[in-house]
Amino acid sequence: MFKKILIANRGEIAMRVIRTCKEMGIKSVAVYSTADAESLHVRFADEAVCIGPAPSSESYLKMSNIIAAAEITNADAIHPGYGFLSENAKFSKICEEHEIKFIGASAEMIDRMGDKASAKSTMIEAGVPCVPGSEGVIPDFETCIKVAKETGYPVMLKASAGGGGKGMRAVWKKEDLQNAWESARQESKAAFGNDDMYMEKLIEEPRHIEIQIVGDSNGRACHLSERDCSVQRRHQKLTEETPSPFMTDELREEMGKAAVKAAEYIKYEGAGTVEFLVDKHRNFYFMEMNTRIQVEHPITEQVVDYDLIREQILVAAGVPISGKNYYPQLHSIECRINAEDPYKDFRPSPGKITNLHLPGGHGVRIDTHVYSGYTIPPNYDSMIAKLITTAQTREEAINKMKRALDEFVVEGIKTTVPFHRQLMDHPDYVSGDYTTKFMEDFEMEEPKDD
Ligand code: MV4
């Protein structure tokens, strides 16, 4: 078992990993930028190393400085968290070359799942349901026209190097295809240095339902059921829940089996997530596979009583999984609390938190790194806390979320707490009848002058 793990991340996920390390008797090393010198993960870790100035490119993305920090502290493993270098194949490789265990996917696996067209081809080979469309990357526009005709409009053009919606275009009729093809390729080239495109039949008003999986070094995998992540704004998840209000026991079995089949086919090791698009008839289709722990992992932990970070560490240390699958015994909802102003188009609101009161009580979990007096630096993403409520039923979990949001006090900056409080009263959310289109029509009600 590892003696010392370096957490190559910051914020709440660094706190999350440090906590599990402590429970497992593993020493922890925090790395931080000069902007994070006063951040909580620095204080909670056993050791802390400054790896550079505020810009991520000079610190949390600076592979040489992170490896150097691991060397001088004699860490035998690195946990990358999510974002930053968590799905960086080069970094995974460099860790391997330095004989530092990367608690994540191998470089080959990251590359294979990071290239969306190749990931899809792999899933087709594995027998995982995929959206009909092109066989891999489309070589030229003539082929694009032909594939669109065969697929039938509307179609979705997607960047193979993409993900999260970048370089993606919905095309409803033939005359719009050329503009979409050219603008999507330009966007993808600019964002990823690669303009390979593939095409799929457009799934109208889909839900985003993902399955958590864990694979071990013996090539076995299990699933821990689903998370519904359909409430998104500009491809940023805002809130997630499990079980999905759209799920049936049969669909859960089918999607779980498909996700395990995918993981075992590629001999996936570690925690991963297989994302699916689900249409209104409950047909599901492979969308992407994420080779990292995800922001929303706590709701799964809450309903199956399982520590996913602990499992990541055990699997990375060669411990086999039990092999059983896990099904939700409770209902859990996560609200991502961001330092953004929902009354002003969710624009960022960094600054000093002058007063903070965190909610608590039965069934309330908060994963956060902030504290009263903490100054949120403008350099990193805006999430400051994850508020998670868990109860026997969805109604009780929503009710608990409303009560917790009403208790949540953050002064000195704006946050998305008021947005989530209004969301919990929205009839389509409360009924569970929402898709990825939900936020397109959502309007904040102006604050009542209380
Ligand atoms: C789709 C789709 C409809 N049809 N593919 C968005 C980013 C990436 N995860 C893939 N996405 C989509 N792919 C087909 N064939 C609709 C989306 C989509 C979406 C998917 C999940 C969550 C939110 C979304 C928001 C807009 C579009």
- So what's the architecture of 132-201 in CATH? 2-Layer Sandwich (3.30)
Shortest-distance Cα residue to atom 7 of ligand 1: 165
Model confidence band, residue 353 (pLDDT cutoffs 50, 70, 90): very high
pLDDT at position 173, please? Answer: 97
pLDDT tens, position by position, 370-414: 999 999 999 999 999 999 999 999 999 999 999 999 999 999 999
Q: Are 63 and 45 in contact (CB under 8 A)?
A: no
Of residues 221 and 165, more confidence is placed in: 221
Q: Is the CB of 202 under 6 A from ligand 1?
A: yes
Q: Is the CB of 159 under 6 A from ligand 1?
A: no
Q: Distance, CA 165 to ligand 1 centroid (Å)?
A: 7
pLDDT mean over 323-341: 98
pTM of the model: 0.97
Q: Is the CB of 368 under 6 A from ligand 1?
A: no
Q: Are 157 and 169 in contact (CB under 8 A)?
A: yes
pLDDT tens, position by position, 167-182: 999 999 999 999 999 9
Q: Are 415 and 421 in contact (CB under 8 A)?
A: no
Residue 5 has pLDDT above 60, yes or no: yes
Q: Is the CB of 164 under 6 A from ligand 1?
A: yes
pLDDT mean over 140-167: 95
Model confidence band, residue 447 (pLDDT cutoffs 50, 70, 90): confident
pLDDT at position 450, please? Answer: 56
3-state helix, strand, coil in the chain (%, to 5): 35, 25, 40
> Measured between alpha carbons, how far is 4 from 318 in angstroms, rounded to an integer?
16
Token pair, residue 199, equals 């095409």
Strand segments, DSSP code E, in 291-382 are 331-338, 340-341, 347-348, 351-352, 355-357, 364-368, 375-376
Q: Which residues are catalytic?
A: 292
pLDDT tens, position by position, 258-312: 999 999 999 999 999 999 999 999 999 999 999 999 999 999 999 999 999 999 9
Q: Is the CB of 156 under 6 A from ligand 1?
A: yes
pLDDT at position 442, please? Answer: 96
SS3 409: strand
Q: Is the CB of 206 under 6 A from ligand 1?
A: yes
Shortest-distance Cα residue to atom 22 of ligand 1: 208
SS3 77: strand
Q: Is the CB of 228 under 6 A from ligand 1?
A: no
Residue ranges per domain, the chain? 4-103, 132-201, 207-440
- So what's the architecture of 4-103 in CATH? 3-Layer(aba) Sandwich (3.40)
SS3 362: coil
The answer to whether domain 207-440 has CATH 3.40.50.740 is: no
Q: Distance, CA 226 to ligand 1 centroid (Å)?
A: 17
Using alpha carbons, select from 33, 26, 37, 24 the residue that is nearest to residue 78.
Answer: 26
Question: Which of the listed residues 113, 116, 155, 156 should we mutate to test ligand 1's pocket, taking the one with most ligand atoms within 8 A of CB?
Answer: 156
Q: Are 225 and 327 in contact (CB under 8 A)?
A: yes
Using alpha carbons, select from 131, 135, 138 the residue that is nearest to residue 181.
Answer: 138
pLDDT at position 282, please? Answer: 98
pLDDT at position 163, please? Answer: 78
Q: Distance, CA 163 to ligand 1 centroid (Å)?
A: 9
Residue 53 has pLDDT above 60, yes or no: yes
Q: Distance, CA 168 to ligand 1 centroid (Å)?
A: 9
pLDDT mean over 99-113: 97
pLDDT at position 164, please? Answer: 79
* Segment 248-252 long-range contacts (CB within 8 Å, at least 24 positions apart): 248/282, 251/278, 251/282, 251/284, 252/225, 252/226, 252/327
